[in-house]
């Protein structure tokens, strides 16, 4: 058995290398170039003084990238994975620091007992520790731990060292969680309240008056009212400092040479298929259509009008089993194979497969675009931004004013460009900024210091706000007339008719249900459960408008059903509160931490 372990040790150590040592650095990722004197720090981030190196981050990112790609079979969203990886690394550092601060230790007895009786999943997945059916063999694992030869083998010892560290860390985190969550409780009244919220129900009739009932012509706001509101609420219009830039962009579009290279590749593959190569296997290997590649390019059955024109024309012209010449569509170049043809309800339908070759900018094209952007900067610094742009036939665009939140209109989230804008003087030119859509160069155009926005900028917003307030007042006045009639003895239907409103019904509904045209867990719902059948409310205000309701039916809870479900409800509430408590503790830990995030220097985020 130990001999088998030694033979398989390279495989076993694969998981150690992945989980513990990490993988080699890889080269994809957006970046800021060094042009223009942009200084890039020596580390990607820092958490309470603990540095995160670029290499360490790339290793983790590649691991997550590969796992996601294997799981989904599609190309992952690299921006999302980059954010996920950052958050994971920050969290692990904070947890390690918390374990030290809380002085949480694990004894040898605890470690050995847990390791022997609760082998982690990555151990269970090792083929050397599985039986002939591929199931984890607990006896074989115990034998591996007990055999003296295990501890004389350097590879096996390294594996066990990692296993001990992994289990020790898991036990420490488990103890930390128990300490954090030890005070989280759920009481019997809380369980009952949850059940009642879900199961006690009420049915009502109601009338509603909202601001949307009144046309623009029915509300009037003059300039004096707008000015008066502005003077009385100036602090509402205070804003931080802002910047405005003009920019040019070199979009990442494939060149004529890129287009031709993909066309030639498609023609070469089509020729291979005609000479006997397997279409399905090549589709799985080469197709850029993530939705169909794993199925050999199978598109299923479709009729006319379901595909883009060029694809449809080529596909319907084929004979069964025939392969098309490469076909160009907005999606790229396609090789199409007609699988079958049939008539369905008088309509001709075909089943086809395809291999898609997307046309994307090559590395050479991207390097050319970057070089053009860098050359533009050199010219702009000598001749001026406007002149350099005109000489190259480029279009200048304007960002408008933007704040420090990281978002620039026309470009998107770009921390490094925001940093450039807020540290530079008007006229200064940025380094080349690269993201997934292009290469960008900015010139700072104007600074706006922090202060109160002028009336000219906010007047239209104030007018809309005052008009909305007038509409709500009109709606409330309408229901006040109805409420007065109800006090005089009129029915809800009579009062509604007198003010030209409609009586509607809702329910039966619980406190947690969502009600169309009403909402959820608001004043309407609260009032409905306070009233008894036959009682009518006063005017109820919500963010949608005003209501008067009358309770028609009330359905109490089933006590026997509550008794049968209460333990399950308690467990669910406890689990939810524990999750919330742990998330809150972790968020607080992160908020108190001193975190330096330099990702934008490395990826152009």
Please determine, for residue 28, whether its predicted confidence score (pLDDT) is greater than 60.
no
**Which H or E run contains 421?**
helix 415-423
In angstroms, the Cα distances linking 401 to 119, 237, 398, 408, 413 are 57, 15, 9, 8, 14
Q: Average pLDDT of the chain?
A: 89
Average pLDDT over residues 563-588: 94
Tokens representing 216 are 């623009």
Is 130 or 9 the better-scoring residue by pLDDT? Answer: 130
Please determine, for residue 506, whether its predicted confidence score (pLDDT) is greater than 80.
yes
Which domains does the chain carry?
A: 45-103+183-199+558-604 (no CATH), 108-169 (no CATH), 201-211+467-555 (3.10.50.40), 239-253+364-452 (3.10.50.40), 256-361 (3.10.50.40)
Q: Which residues pair with 250 in a beta bridge?
A: 439
pLDDT band per the 50, 70, 90 thresholds, residue 13: very low
The pLDDT tens digits of the residues spanning 372-396 come to: 999 999 999 999 999 999 999 999 9
0.75 exceeded by pTM: no
Report d(CA 434, CA 35) in Å as an integer.
Answer: 12
Distance between the two ends of the chain, CA-based, in angstroms?
52
pLDDT band per the 50, 70, 90 thresholds, residue 217: confident
Report d(CA 324, CA 279) in Å as an integer.
Answer: 12
Which pLDDT score, from 0 to 100, does residue 40 have? 62
pLDDT band per the 50, 70, 90 thresholds, residue 435: confident
The pLDDT tens digits of the residues spanning 329-362 come to: 999 999 999 999 999 988 999 999 999 999 999 9
Q: Which residues contact 35 (CB under 8 A, 6 or more apart)?
A: 374, 377, 431, 432
Report d(CA 543, CA 522) in Å as an integer.
Answer: 9
Which pLDDT score, from 0 to 100, does residue 342 have? 94
Which pLDDT score, from 0 to 100, does residue 600 have? 74
Please determine, for residue 18, whether its predicted confidence score (pLDDT) is greater than 70.
no
Beta-carbon-side half-sphere exposure of residue 150 (alpha carbons within 13 Å)? 15
Which pLDDT score, from 0 to 100, does residue 594 have? 95
Please determine, for residue 26, whether its predicted confidence score (pLDDT) is greater than 80.
no
The pLDDT tens digits of the residues spanning 467-487 come to: 999 999 999 999 999 999 999
**Which H or E run contains 203?**
strand 201-209
- At residue 440, φ and ψ (nearest 5 deg) are -125, 145
Tokens representing 121 are 């999943």
Report d(CA 585, CA 462) in Å as an integer.
Answer: 41
Q: Which residues contact 577 (CB under 8 A, 6 or more apart)?
A: 184, 186
**H-helix segments, 317-353:** none
Taking Cα atoms as reference points, which of 68, 108, 115 lies closest to residue 88? 68
The pLDDT tens digits of the residues spanning 152-169 come to: 888 888 888 999 999 999
Average pLDDT over residues 101-105: 91
């Amino acid at each position: 058995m130990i001999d088998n372990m030694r033979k398989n040790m390279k495989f076993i150590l694969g998981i150690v290398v992945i989980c513990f040592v990490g993988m080699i650095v890889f080269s994809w990722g957006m970046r800021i170039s060094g042009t223009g004197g942009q200084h890039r720090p020596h580390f990607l981030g820092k958490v309470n003084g603990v540095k995160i190196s670029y290499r360490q981050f790339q290793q983790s990112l590649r691991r997550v990238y590969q796992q996601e790609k294997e799981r989904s079979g599609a190309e992952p969203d690299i921006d999302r994975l980059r954010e996920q990886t950052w958050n994971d690394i920050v969290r692990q550092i904070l947890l390690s620091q918390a374990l030290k601060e809380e002085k949480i230790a694990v004894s040898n007895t605890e470690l050995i007992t847990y390791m022997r009786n609760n082998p982690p999943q990555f151990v269970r997945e090792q083929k050397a520790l599985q039986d002939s059916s591929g199931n984890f063999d607990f006896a074989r694992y115990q034998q591996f731990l007990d055999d003296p030869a295990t501890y004389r083998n350097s590879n096996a010892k390294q594996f066990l060292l990692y296993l001990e560290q992994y289990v020790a860390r898991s036990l420490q985190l488990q103890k930390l969680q128990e300490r954090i969550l030890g005070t989280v409780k759920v009481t019997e009244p809380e369980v009952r309240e949850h059940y009642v919220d879900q199961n006690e129900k009420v049915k009502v009739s109601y009338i509603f008056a909202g601001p949307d009932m009144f046309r623009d012509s029915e509300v009037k706001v003059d300039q004096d009212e707008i000015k008066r509101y502005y003077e009385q609420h100036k602090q509402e219009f205070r804003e931080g400092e802002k910047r405005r830039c003009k920019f040019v962009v070199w979009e990442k579009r494939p060149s004529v040479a890129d287009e031709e290279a993909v066309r030639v590749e498609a023609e070469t593959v089509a020729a291979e298929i005609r000479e006997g190569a397997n279409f399905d296997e090549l589709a799985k290997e080469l197709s850029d259509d993530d939705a169909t590649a794993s199925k050999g390019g199978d598109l299923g059955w479709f009729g006319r009008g379901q595909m883009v024109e060029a694809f449809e024309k080529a596909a319907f012209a084929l004979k069964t089993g025939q392969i098309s010449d490469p076909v160009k569509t907005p999606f790229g170049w396609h090789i199409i194979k007609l699988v079958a043809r049939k008539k369905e309800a008088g309509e001709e339908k075909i089943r086809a497969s395809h291999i898609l070759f997307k046309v994307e900018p090559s590395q050479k094209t991207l390097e050319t675009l970057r070089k053009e952007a860098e050359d533009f900067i050199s010219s702009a610094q000598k001749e001026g931004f406007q002149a350099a742009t005109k000489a190259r036939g480029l279009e200048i665009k304007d960002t408008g004013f933007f704040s420090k939140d990281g978002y620039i209109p026309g470009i998107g989230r770009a921390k490094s460009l925001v940093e450039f804008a807020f540290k530079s003087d008007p006229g200064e030119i940025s380094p080349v900024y690269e993201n997934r859509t292009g290469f960008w160069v900015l010139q700072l155009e104007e600074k706006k210091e922090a202060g109160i926005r002028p009336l000219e900028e906010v007047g239209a917003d104030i007018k809309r706000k005052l008009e909305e307030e007038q509409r709500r007042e009109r709606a409330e006045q309408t229901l006040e007339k109805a409420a007065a009639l109800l006090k005089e003895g009129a029915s809800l239907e009579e009062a509604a008719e007198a003010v030209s409103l409609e009586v509607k019904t809702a329910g039966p509904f619980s406190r947690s249900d969502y009600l169309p045209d009403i909402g959820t867990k608001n004043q309407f719902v609260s009032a409905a459960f306070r009233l008894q059948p036959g009682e009518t409310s006063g005017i109820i205000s919500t963010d949608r408008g005003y209501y008067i309701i009358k309770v028609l039916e009330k359905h109490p809870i089933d006590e026997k059903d509550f008794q049968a479900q209460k333990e399950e409800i308690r467990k669910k509430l406890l689990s939810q509160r524990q999750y919330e408590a742990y998330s809150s503790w972790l968020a607080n830990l992160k908020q108190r931490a001193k975190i330096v995030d330099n990702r934008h220097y490395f990826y152009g985020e």
